[in-house]
Amino acid sequence: MFKDPGSAKRTAYEQGKFKSCDTTTALNRLTGIVGLPIAAKEREAIDDLAETRNALTHYGHTANAFAVEARAARVLRFLVDFVPRHLHPVLSTEAAVVATTMQAVREKLAYFRRW
Per-residue model confidence as pLDDT tens digits over 8-59:
888 988 888 888 888 889 999 999 998 988 999 999 999 988 888 877 777 7
Higher pLDDT, 102 or 30: 30
**For the chain, how many structural domains are there in total?**
2
56 Cβ neighbours under 8 A, 6+ residues apart: 63, 68
Distance CA 90, CA 36 (A): 13
Is the same domain home to 62 and 99? yes
3-state secondary structure of 9: coil
Q: Which domain holds residue 10?
A: 1-36
CB 98 within 8 A of CB 91: yes
**Burial per residue of 73-91, b for 16 or more beta-carbon CB atoms within 10 angstroms, e otherwise:** bbbbbbeeebbeeeeeeee
22 and 48 together in one domain: no
> How do residues 63-97 score in pLDDT, each as one tens digit?
777 788 788 888 888 888 888 888 777 777 777 88
